[in-house]
Structure 1
């Protein structure tokens, strides 16, 4: 689908977005984004400007049609939010096929042309190129190429691989009309229990800063332009130091603490993101407790409400003038079916929704994530509690990104081209190779003959858990009983404490890092019957100490298919992984560690950056 173009008197082609037959400055492709944004802000009604300041979830029709009823999570019909409320920023959820997404984008952009100034829609997404499926965090790859989680990219420890991933993801997003990435997530994973480590790039601030630069280069290029995907870097000023590792999505995890005085350490990657021109920043939900900076006590309210953090630090001290979008649902509670998740109004729970909104704006944010309560903002302006000039400042920042991305000139995509680009064979091969490279070998014992267990070689019979039989068949005949096997190959997920009282809670892996005693006992019994090769899928750290006593080999993966794991274990693709976080020896050591300090557990079983290389490789 191509835009309907008009021709000005001097022959310039443009989109007549307001239908007045004149090429107004904001429609003129020859002018700078700054000039166009200034012109459009001066033309827009208060209702239109306020609509820009909301970004909420949207869902895709099965065949790319617009959903005109509330969805599984989205709250309103599409036409109501686009035309009725003037929203033009949406976070897309499930995508089944590239064609479906592309057709839907075009339908959505055509609907946006019905608004008074034809403001195009910016479609955003949480990460969707790896394995974790969590509506509150990201999505499994589906039709897109599949890569390791962020921790896996960090395990490869190669800046160029991060840039390569980001470039592939940019091209796939761009093909279906997604023009904003709600990532990278550059929080430092210094608290081993924290449930959001999988999408981070590890705990090493200097290395994460280097990865951040490469990530932004791959998505945005040297500067934001028509081929870019705009990044929202998160979660400022670093969401890793959660008290006891509990996540601040939930009331019991609202406190963020700095017992080691490492606040500045967690800022390092964000300083790099600012230098590299990230299009947006997102503060986290966390409420700093007991934090002082420059002799001044920081208000104990969530970072999205915190003027000392957003205006004084981010905008003032660090000089950031891009978009600040809050994390989701700081204003209103979220009701989904029979479950509720309270507004993450940490430290301001007693405020009304209008008062929360006012405090967020005073803090310095430009956009409310996960909200569509435009009338609430309009009432604040009309009552005089918020000045219209404050709305104009945020509207200009938000429009600048749209103009820089070229959305006003052509927001449409080609569904046929989307099918050719998204998940193509080359991109999939790159992702699968990265999955194998990220495998991190932790233990590799020698057998009675002195040969190392890895790389794996064919044996007579193999017992398998966590892999498909056809994946393991190259190693030998798959048997049902380890007592009949010459080798056992077992893949386990990292342990966690199941919870399901609040919306989203079941998807977050939180709590203890210890494996249940019964699982350890069962693995020991297997190892007594044949050599055990254990692969731990780590979406956060795990206490592997019991297994290290008896397993013939242990490896960690951070988002890999079974086939990719076998490629690495057999040496077809050399595993290159080095741990992006330390693996503690015990939960006692974790509980005694400080949440904000990297590598702070006593005598870790495996330190950060540890990983063994295979001495031989198979062709």
Structure 2
């Protein structure tokens, strides 16, 4: 191929990879031929990035062990980053993104643009560590709430709106959907899933991918385009069946088990996602224990597991896209003041170099939250990785950048970002979905919806709500004495066992029952107040049969504002709960312990079954 192309209009020399009229495969081939080993190695790492003060380029962020932006891009030659932190100032974020992109284009060779990714950030959520707060973006219920609504069109609409907000900020890759199945109720990451049903999870994942990747806007090709946000489906091959529900971010949670021999059930949503065209895939940290298939029996973390990544995902399921490891498989890291070991489960004995080689040899194209390209260079120079293997992944990563239009239009318009991110119409749709997703579990004597006119001026005892809003908006008299109250309204969080401070404390694991002291406290309130309304935020299933017995009404929510919740309680403008449970609600922790981690709907005598949900019309 010629090393240059003459522009017919002005006679200037244009490199072939910059010519948007050439096929992407030709442009990639040309660019790869020009890049050094060090530059290709930088592509194989998906780092983290944090804006500096007032949208400046960060000098580093020790709380997450993240180096400075210039060091990552110019020094280490990385070109893929996960954005940390909420978007609270839209213009500032858009301008920061342009600064980052300008650094990559002007201070490194070949003008390879940055791909900016994000964990889920369009939900009303407090799940720090597994998602990002929405900030200025529209806020929808968490994915469990979308699952509660069973509405594929709504999920596609959510994804389409999130796509438009993401693109305005420069976000080109969604680290989602999460299609793990919630078959082990103690697991701390259920809030990011679509629940317990493999069939429903697959259907909603397909709608999610369609909305984000927008194949209808690709000029008829059905592929990615400049209008797309690529999706990274996770966590292959399904991270739900963690032993005892402990999460594999931590050493004590590294085992994933299959007592029901039910791996295939957990793979079902991934089959659908692949068919729907998801472009990227992320294996989880866990290592499989006790799999009967000898091809999959190696007890190492899934990101290191050649049988899982190359054998099952690529060869058997036919996935041809990018595989990115989960974060931090090679290096220890400081996160929120806590030193976390590298999640190299089953590979703890390997050196950092050996871990990198094993991950790439397993079939991963990128290493998440690492910035060690020098190890790929060393591996190549010592013959552990071939130039062809490195080029294989580099070509896929560059191809996606071209498909997403990053080479041809790398910057965003801050004015447009201000106009589109958090648009009032988007916010209204998100809030409407929050209201609708709420599930009515118990409604004795049809106490809900409460009529505001009938209870104005009455005394209300509240927990989990901001009392001033109740007084000013609804005319209640808020009392701190349950014995004086006419009505009690409690917003509770699903029970969990508190862990240590720092990063681990963000993970709600352990018992799904309230402690004896909490049960006693709740019973004292509910026994003395004539009307009691309880809402439980379900980031995972809760065993609370005592509340179903004691309260006048019980609702379940999956990420909703106080305003949205109260609109449903009072039926404001016809607001009503339409959600159906996305999982069973167990009767006790003992029932969960007795169930099999990989088998759905497996607890004995649950309080409510999957799909339960009352309405105000009956």
Bin for the TM-score computed over the shorter chain: over 0.9
* Counterpart check, 1:206 vs 2:204: no
Segment drifting more, 46-55 vs 562-571: 562-571
* Rounded Cα–Cα distance in structure 1 between residues aligned with 2:121 and 2:247: 21
| Offset at residue 74 of structure 1 (A) | 4.5
The answer to whether the 8 Å contact 1:542/1:583 transfers is yes
Query: What is aligned with 1:601?
Result: 603
Query: What is aligned with 2:43?
Result: 52
Query: What is aligned with 1:123?
Result: 116
* Rounded Cα–Cα distance in structure 2 between residues aligned with 1:11 and 1:408: 20
Change (3 A) 1:358 1:534: same
| Offset at residue 478 of structure 1 (A) | 2.4
| Offset at residue 516 of structure 1 (A) | 1.5
Query: What is aligned with 2:219?
Result: none
* Counterpart check, 1:152 vs 2:145: yes
| Offset at residue 10 of structure 1 (A) | 2.2
- Unpaired segments of 5 or more residues in structure 2? 216-222
* Counterpart check, 1:165 vs 2:158: yes
The answer to whether the 8 Å contact 2:338/2:503 transfers is no
Alignment of 1:18-97 (within 5 A): 22-94=13-85, 95-97=87-89
* Rounded Cα–Cα distance in structure 1 between residues aligned with 2:235 and 2:575: 34
The answer to whether the 8 Å contact 1:88/1:119 transfers is yes
Query: What is aligned with 2:552?
Result: 552
* Counterpart check, 1:372 vs 2:371: yes
| Offset at residue 135 of structure 1 (A) | 4.6
Segment drifting more, 33-42 vs 362-371: 33-42
Change (3 A) 1:103 1:379: same
The answer to whether the 8 Å contact 2:138/2:422 transfers is yes
| Offset at residue 75 of structure 1 (A) | 2.3
SS at match of 2:326: coil
| Offset at residue 568 of structure 1 (A) | 1.5
SS at match of 1:492: strand
* Counterpart check, 1:221 vs 2:223: no
* Rounded Cα–Cα distance in structure 2 between residues aligned with 1:495 and 1:11: 68
* Rounded Cα–Cα distance in structure 2 between residues aligned with 1:608 and 1:526: 29
Tell me the number of residue pairs that the alignment of Structure 1 and Structure 2 aligns: 597
Alignment of 1:323-342 (within 5 A): 323-336=322-335, 339-342=338-341
* Counterpart check, 1:267 vs 2:259: no
* Rounded Cα–Cα distance in structure 2 between residues aligned with 1:486 and 1:172: 44
* Rounded Cα–Cα distance in structure 1 between residues aligned with 2:109 and 2:135: 36
Segment drifting more, 38-47 vs 322-331: 38-47
- Unpaired segments of 5 or more residues in structure 1? 1-6, 14-20, 447-451
Higher helix share: 2
* Rounded Cα–Cα distance in structure 2 between residues aligned with 1:165 and 1:606: 28
* Counterpart check, 1:457 vs 2:451: yes
| Offset at residue 584 of structure 1 (A) | 0.3
- In the superposition, the TM-score normalised over structure 2's length comes to 0.94
The answer to whether the 8 Å contact 1:464/1:472 transfers is no
| Offset at residue 470 of structure 1 (A) | 4.2
The answer to whether the 8 Å contact 2:296/2:307 transfers is no
* Rounded Cα–Cα distance in structure 2 between residues aligned with 1:582 and 1:56: 37
Query: What is aligned with 1:466?
Result: 464
* Rounded Cα–Cα distance in structure 1 between residues aligned with 2:164 and 2:21: 25
* Rounded Cα–Cα distance in structure 1 between residues aligned with 2:226 and 2:27: 15
- In the superposition, the TM-score normalised over structure 1's length comes to 0.94
* Rounded Cα–Cα distance in structure 2 between residues aligned with 1:86 and 1:272: 35
Change (3 A) 1:445 1:368: same
Segment drifting more, 580-589 vs 338-347: 338-347
* Rounded Cα–Cα distance in structure 1 between residues aligned with 2:522 and 2:503: 31
SS at match of 1:35: helix
The answer to whether the 8 Å contact 1:131/1:139 transfers is no
SS at match of 1:354: helix
Encode CA deviations 1:49-77: one digit per residue, 9 max, x unaligned.
Answer: 00000011110123221113345325212
* Rounded Cα–Cα distance in structure 2 between residues aligned with 1:338 and 1:147: 30
